[in-house]
């Protein structure tokens, strides 16, 4: 009898890092039975073959539906639904289905480490669904009267080579899965560590959102990643606009990692060697967006353990995944432009966040394409949003669209573009304060700082001239 059954899809069982169990051999744990087929899981668990089940995914059905079915068939068994982010709607559905608990992947990893420490011996047999069902039949045969037993022996697979001994883990000190940055000293790019340690730090994640299209959100996200990388931070940018995202084209396509591959194997991000930020691009087939979008918050959370700064570009169409991405990020930048409709749309988005219970304290606000003759200033928008601070991002001119579409985003910084100057000043104050991990505030990018000082002197002289005229 196995104490715990882990339900996960076949790909996740082959690569446990996808479910937060980096470097683990699931088949070698005598207390654990991993199953990918929902029908086999229900058959195995129907007769009381485990005390607890962790449902992360399956090859056939949605995990919450499988968890609900298992709980309905065995009320006394503890059923835990594993999710990257426990949203309000998911918690409500789980509660209505009678599921005992909704846990995150990190909490599942902690429980796994505790169980692994209690069972220090390794079962040499490979645990597969066929093996488990065969052993179940053999156990039932032994429990039947002597005359009713089958005469045909149940086949048992040959034992696999014994794996390395498990490190001693005290029962009273549960450990957590090693989630320290993959680029730290002593670990190769994309390598897994067999030891179980606490994470060293969590990076800063900025989610760039808007409530309407055409605000320049993708441009601001791409430039933010370049500026953060220029300050010396190890940076990744994730394009979560899975239908019409164009972040890859802004970086020239070369060396980008498609988001579906990044979700299947997140270690591709840490294995990438790039002079600038690591770029996770959108999907090639937009019809798959509904499949992968719910998994993006988990990818962001994973990247925060490995990178200093993670910038997330989002789509204009809001869904439950939008709220989950906001919850997992450090700050959310609401970007508006000079259209009054853009400001009204942001108000609606804020009302949605309030109804979903998302705290507003990590929200930042910026108005794009500001000039001396702009229709709306930061003060106007601040008044419309009940007095929240609003930052002005300067108009960068026609060269912004030309260079970004040509994959030459870095040239805007080299040319001291006004948009880059204002964005650099904004990020230089926000990122170091939010990291709060002993990293000193980096020196500003030289060409942007020089340009900003020159502009501030000219502005000061203009204001003095206006005051003299008045």
Supply 215's token pair: 């605000």
The 10s digit of each residue's pLDDT in 65-88 is 899 889 988 888 999 999 877 666
Percent of the chain with pLDDT strictly greater than 70: 73
**What pLDDT band is residue 193 in, cutting at 50, 70 and 90?**
very low
Q: What are phi and psi of 174, to 5 degrees?
A: -60, 140
Residue with the two structure tokens 């988005």: 349
Other beta carbons within 10 Å of 119: 14
Q: What is the pLDDT of residue 303?
A: 94
300 vs 461 pLDDT, higher one: 300
Can you tell me the mean pLDDT for 181-200? 36
Can you tell me the mean pLDDT for 91-117? 87
Which range, of 135-149, 267-281, 307-321, 366-380, averages the lowest pLDDT? 135-149
Supply 90's token pair: 């998911």
The 10s digit of each residue's pLDDT in 238-253 is 999 999 999 999 998 7
**Is the pLDDT reported for residue 33 higher than 70?**
yes
Residue from 121, 106, 86, 114 nearest 21 by CA: 106
Please report, in angstroms and rounded to a whole number, the separation of the first and last CA atoms in the chain. 88
Coil, strand or helix: which one is 43? Answer: helix
352 vs 185 pLDDT, higher one: 352
Q: What is the pLDDT of residue 1?
A: 56
Q: What is the pLDDT of residue 395?
A: 96
Question: Which residues neighbour 434 within 8 Å (Cβ) at sequence distance 6 or greater?
Answer: 204, 330, 331
Cα 192 to Cα 347: distance, rounded to the nearest angstrom? 44
Which range, of 149-163, 280-294, 398-412, averages the lowest pLDDT? 149-163
Can you tell me the mean pLDDT for 390-413? 93
Coil, strand or helix: which one is 5? Answer: strand
343 vs 445 pLDDT, higher one: 343
**What pLDDT band is residue 201 in, cutting at 50, 70 and 90?**
low
CB distance 268 to 262 below 8 Å: yes
**Is the pLDDT reported for residue 200 higher than 60?**
no
**What pLDDT band is residue 422 in, cutting at 50, 70 and 90?**
very high
**Is the pLDDT reported for residue 437 higher than 80?**
no
Can you tell me the mean pLDDT for 42-69? 86
**What pLDDT band is residue 362 in, cutting at 50, 70 and 90?**
confident
Which range, of 7-11, 189-193, 418-422, 444-448, averages the lowest pLDDT? 189-193
Mean pLDDT of the chain: 78
Pairing mode, strands 4-7 and 101-103: unpaired
Can you tell me the mean pLDDT for 213-241? 94
Cα 128 to Cα 131: distance, rounded to the nearest angstrom? 5
466 vs 118 pLDDT, higher one: 118
Helices 320-328 and 340-355 pack at an angle, to 10 degrees, of: 80
Q: What is the pLDDT of residue 447?
A: 53
Which range, of 44-58, 127-141, 166-180, 199-213, averages the lowest pLDDT? 166-180
Q: What is the DSSP string of 91-134?
A: HHHHHHTT-SEEE-HHHHHHHHHHHHHH--SB--S---HHHHHH
DSSP E strands: which ranges in 352-451?
363-370, 391-394
Cα 222 to Cα 191: distance, rounded to the nearest angstrom? 28
Question: Which residues neighbour 139 within 8 Å (Cβ) at sequence distance 6 or greater?
Answer: none
CB distance 104 to 82 below 8 Å: yes
Q: What is the pLDDT of residue 119?
A: 76
């Amino acid at each position: 009898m196995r104490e715990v059954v882990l339900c996960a899809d076949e790909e996740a069982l082959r690569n446990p890092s996808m479910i937060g169990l980096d470097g683990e051999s699931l088949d070698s744990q005598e207390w654990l039975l991993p199953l990918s087929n929902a029908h086999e899981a229900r058959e195995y668990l129907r007769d009381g073959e485990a005390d607890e089940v962790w449902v992360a995914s399956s090859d056939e059905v949605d995990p919450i539906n499988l968890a609900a079915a298992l709980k309905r068939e065995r009320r006394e068994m503890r059923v835990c639904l594993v999710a990257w982010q426990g949203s309000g709607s998911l918690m409500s559905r789980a509660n209505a289905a009678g599921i005992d608990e909704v846990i995150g992947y990190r909490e599942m990893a902690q429980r796994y480490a505790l169980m692994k420490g209690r069972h220090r011996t390794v079962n040499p047999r490979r645990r597969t669904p066929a093996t488990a069902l065969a052993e179940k039949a053999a156990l039932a045969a032994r429990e039947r009267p002597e005359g009713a037993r089958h005469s045909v022996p149940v086949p048992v697979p040959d034992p696999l080579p014994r794996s390395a001994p498990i490190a001693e883990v005290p029962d009273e000190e549960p450990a957590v899965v090693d989630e320290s940055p993959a680029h730290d000293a002593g670990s190769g790019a994309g390598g897994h560590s067999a030891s179980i340690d606490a994470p060293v730090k969590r990076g800063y994640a900025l989610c760039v959102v808007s409530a309407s299209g055409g605000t320049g959100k993708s441009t601001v996200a791409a430039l933010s990643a370049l500026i953060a990388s220029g300050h010396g931070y190890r940076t990744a940018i994730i394009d979560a606009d899975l239908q019409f995202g164009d972040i890859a084209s802004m970086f020239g396509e070369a060396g980008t990692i498609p988001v579906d591959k990044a979700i299947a194997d997140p270690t591709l991000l840490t294995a990438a060697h790039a002079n600038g930020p690591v770029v996770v691009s959108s999907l090639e087939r937009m019809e798959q967006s509904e499949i992968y979008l719910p998994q993006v918050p988990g990818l962001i959370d994973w990247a925060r353990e490995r990178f200093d700064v993670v910038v997330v570009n989002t789509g204009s169409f809001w869904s439950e995944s939008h709220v989950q991405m906001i919850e997992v990020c450090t700050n959310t930048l609401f970007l508006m432009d000079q259209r009054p409709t853009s400001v009204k749309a942001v108000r609606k988005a804020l009302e949605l966040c309030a109804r979903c219970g998302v705290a507003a304290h990590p929200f930042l606000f910026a108005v794009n394409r500001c000039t001396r003759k702009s229709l709306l200033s930061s003060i106007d928008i601040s008044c419309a949003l009940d007095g929240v601070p609003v930052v002005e991002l300067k108009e960068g001119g026609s060269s912004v669209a030309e260079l970004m579409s040509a994959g030459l985003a870095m040239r805007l910084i080299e040319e001291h573009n006004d948009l880059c100057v204002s964005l650099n000043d904004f990020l230089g104050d926000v990122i170091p304060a939010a990291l709060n991990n002993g990293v000193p505030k980096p020196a500003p990018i030289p060409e942007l700082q020089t340009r900003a000082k020159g502009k501030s002197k000219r502005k000061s002289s203009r204001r003095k001239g206006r005051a003299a005229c008045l």
